[in-house]
Structure 1
Amino acid sequence: MKLSDPQPGEWRYSRSETFQTFAEFQKTRKIIPVNRKNIIYLQPIGKFNDLQQKEIVLTREYLKAYFQLETKILPILSNNIFPKSVKRIFRDAQGQVLAGYVLDSILMNRKPDDAVVVMGITERDLFPKPEWNYVFGLASHAGGVG
């Protein structure tokens, strides 16, 4: 189905993006569990209230059911793991963390040997680069982290 023309105020109205066809997607390398790399890990980072902790458990249950793979929650890491150089205070005094640091310096360095993927979860707002004000998430396909 073809997307409708973008309207003023929509993301696509002011940005030119190339789209991936289904055929192109089929040619991409997939992350496939194998005998010794077949567990999904969730890595919580930060200070979570009771409701947020319950959401992490529900996320684990969902991923386990959806992917039919063992899914584990790693011990929570403190926000102290973020050095000052990857933090900033943005609009409305909102603290943010550089998303690439989470991938490259935390998740990749702590990825268990039996992990097919590791998904970081933080209660902090993320930004991908200084000129952007936020990002919903970021992943490294090659690294198997997100």
Structure 2
Amino acid sequence: MLNQSYTFKILWLCIIFSSCLSSNPYESAQQKLAPIYPFKKPAQKGDWLYTRIDKYQSLNDYIKSKPTSTDSIRKKIYIMLIGDFDSTQKEIVTGTAEYLHAFYGLQIDFIEMRKDADIFANSRKHPTQGQLQLSAKQIMNVVLKPQLPKDAATLIALTNYDLYPENSWSYIFGLGSTKERVGVWSMYRFGDPHKKEQKEQCLMFTIKTATHEIGHMFSLPHCAKYECCMNGSNSLRELNSHPTYFCPDCLAKICWNLNQDVHANLERTENFWLKRNNVTAKEVYQKSIERLSK
């Protein structure tokens, strides 16, 4: 017969072994990466967080919220273009689609461009600048929802028209639904890609906004803990200060959601920036990969 002390040791080892098996690899990655990512800087006047409070959401809270996700059928990101895009603008579209594929690890397909009256039904002139603006909510509810493909994880429209969400707002860069799997973003305010000195800036702004809005479409809230692509933006200055990458918390959430390995996500995205020779992004991903490998 086993003595009591020996039995206790076996039970204790079983508990430890069970704990190791049940540990969350996403929480582990989150903890390893946390020390090398900067916390959110204090908001300046006019910034998103200057007059708003974005509540912190843990990984466990995100999981409990039953976020929008992929499944055996819905596993593509679709992009619909709204407007007339010339060859230079299409280069921005192509670069953004390549980044979305690298970052989210999902197939990117394009859906036929819409040019009918539904898109312009609730359009308006900008209250002070006079340019045509399209209703982001009209595009999402009337144009995108009825055309959502059966195999779409998300459907997002990209337009070169300016956008507004409601009459009390001057404009927005983009809007994404956390439950309906649709969203829209605009490159209207991102500079003129036909000018050499503005082309890369336009691409970066477009990548940040697309990645951010699709994050919302996978039910990610705004991030207020770290400097992160999921930070809210009120201006081009603020958007410019935000990184293209996700913080450890948001990265853990999206990788859990899509059932993807965090290390694999970082390697895919690093390869994108290696090809484009973006020094800042390369350093962040290299440090992150090294940290996870320890």
Q: Per the shorter chain, which TM-score range?
A: 0.7 to 0.9
**In 1: Cα distance, 2:176 partner to 2:144 partner:** 10
Residue aligning to 2:100:
63
* Pairwise CA distance, 1:82: 2.1
Bigger helix fraction: 2
Secondary structure at the residue paired with 2:182?
Answer: coil
Cα separation, partners in 2 of 1:69 and 1:21, compared to 1, 3 Å = closer
* Pairwise CA distance, 1:5: 4.6
Q: Structure 1: which 4+ aligned runs deviate by more than 4 Å?
A: 1-5
Residue aligning to 2:112:
75
Q: Deviations over 1:77-121 (max 9, x none)?
A: 22644234x111112221111110111111111111111110110
Residue type at the aligned position of 1:16: R
Taking the TM superposition and a 5 Å limit, the aligned residue runs for 1:117-132 are 117-132=154-169
Q: Deviations over 1:5-51 (max 9, x none)?
A: 544343433x2324233253343322322221111100111111211
1:20 alignment partner, one of 30, 36, 56: 56
Residue type at the aligned position of 1:137: G
Cα separation, partners in 2 of 1:78 and 1:2, compared to 1, 3 Å = same
Residue aligning to 2:134:
97
- Provide the aligned length of Structure 1 versus Structure 2: 144
* Pairwise CA distance, 1:132: 0.5
Larger RCO, structures 1/2 (Cα 8 Å, 6+ apart)? 1
Residue type at the aligned position of 1:17: I
5+ residue gaps, structure 1, are none
Q: 2:70 matched to 1:33? A: yes
5+ residue gaps, structure 2, are 1-37, 184-294
Cα separation, partners in 2 of 1:6 and 1:71, compared to 1, 3 Å = closer
**In 2: Cα distance, 1:121 partner to 1:3 partner:** 28
Cα separation, partners in 2 of 1:46 and 1:81, compared to 1, 3 Å = farther
TM-score, structure 2 length as denominator? Answer: 0.45
Secondary structure at the residue paired with 2:156?
Answer: strand
Bigger strand fraction: 1
Q: 2:115 matched to 1:88? A: no
Q: Do the aligned partners of 1:40 and 1:71 also contact (CA within 8 Å) in 2? A: yes
Compare CA radii of gyration and give the structure with the larger one: 2
Cα separation, partners in 2 of 1:12 and 1:110, compared to 1, 3 Å = same
Residue type at the aligned position of 2:168: E
**In 2: Cα distance, 1:67 partner to 1:12 partner:** 27
**In 1: Cα distance, 2:95 partner to 2:39 partner:** 34
Q: Do the aligned partners of 1:45 and 1:79 also contact (CA within 8 Å) in 2? A: no
Q: Do the aligned partners of 2:134 and 2:162 also contact (CA within 8 Å) in 1? A: yes
* Pairwise CA distance, 1:74: 1.3
Cα separation, partners in 2 of 1:107 and 1:11, compared to 1, 3 Å = same
Residue type at the aligned position of 1:33: T
**In 1: Cα distance, 2:139 partner to 2:40 partner:** 33
TM-score, structure 1 length as denominator? Answer: 0.84
